[in-house]
Amino acid sequence: MKALGILLILGVLMTSVSLAENVPATSKKAVFAGGCFWCLQPGFDHTQGVLATTVGYTGGQVSTPTYEQVCAGSTGHLEAIEVVYDPAVVAYEKLVDIFWRSVDPTDDGGQFADRGSQYRTAIFYADDGQKRLAEEAVRRLAASGKFTKPIMTRVLPAAVFYPAETYHQKYYLKQSGRYNDYKNGSGRADFLKKAW
């Protein structure tokens, strides 16, 4: 059983490396913050046109922060995901829609069981086009009547993205039981099922 787990982790890491090596020059990056970054990765990983995902930290003032530092809430960073995608296959708007379906965009104090500014939602734009599309998406969601509370997701300029520690990458595959316990226990799974 242990050997199977090691093979699975090696397979995930090798896939990540081969994807990174085969990323076309026309690929782009999108960055989203939505509470626990473990819960953001599956939705993007299972989307055609997404070439690679990395969970990490962004938006703060501390260089190369650790998980413990970010969790303490003193770095200014948010837990986030960096998505490398092929815009010829998947539109940025589709990625924003996947993000919406992974979070509670009305919660300004964190996400579900995770409280604090490091768990707030944000869309980090890389250029004016992403900024325009993200702002339009926020306005569209607010006008949709989907939520009775205001949309609190921020649209912010991209900052340095620091990859999280290796054990956090693809956590939903490495520790599927713990991941599912967390997703259900935190209230995220129930909220998303009811909201969408």
* Bigger pLDDT: 155 vs 12: 155
Is 36 labeled as catalytic in the residue annotation? yes
Summarised one tens digit per residue, pLDDT across range 177-196 is 999 999 999 999 999 999 98
Name all domains of the chain by residue range, CATH numbers in brackets.
18-187 (3.30.1060.10)
At 11-31, the pLDDT tens digits run 444 444 444 557 788 999 999
Beta-ladder partners of 105: none
Q: Give me 98's structure tokens.
A: 């996947």
**pLDDT score recorded for residue 23:** 75
Catalytic residue among 30, 31, 36, 137: 36
pLDDT at 116: 97
| pTM: predicted TM-score of the whole model, two decimal places | 0.88
Position 114 scores a pLDDT of 97
pLDDT value at residue 21: 59
Q: pLDDT tens for residues 46-83? A: 999 999 999 999 999 999 999 999 999 999 999 999 99
**pLDDT exceeding 70 applies to what percent of the chain?**
89
Nearest CA-CA partner of 168 in 2, 7, 41, 21: 41
Tell me the average pLDDT of the chain.
91
Q: 150-154: long-range contacts at Cβ-Cβ below 8 A with a sequence spacing of 24 or more?
A: 150/106, 151/105, 151/106, 152/105, 152/106, 152/107, 152/108, 152/120, 152/121, 153/103, 153/105, 153/121, 153/122, 153/123, 154/120, 154/121, 154/122, 154/123
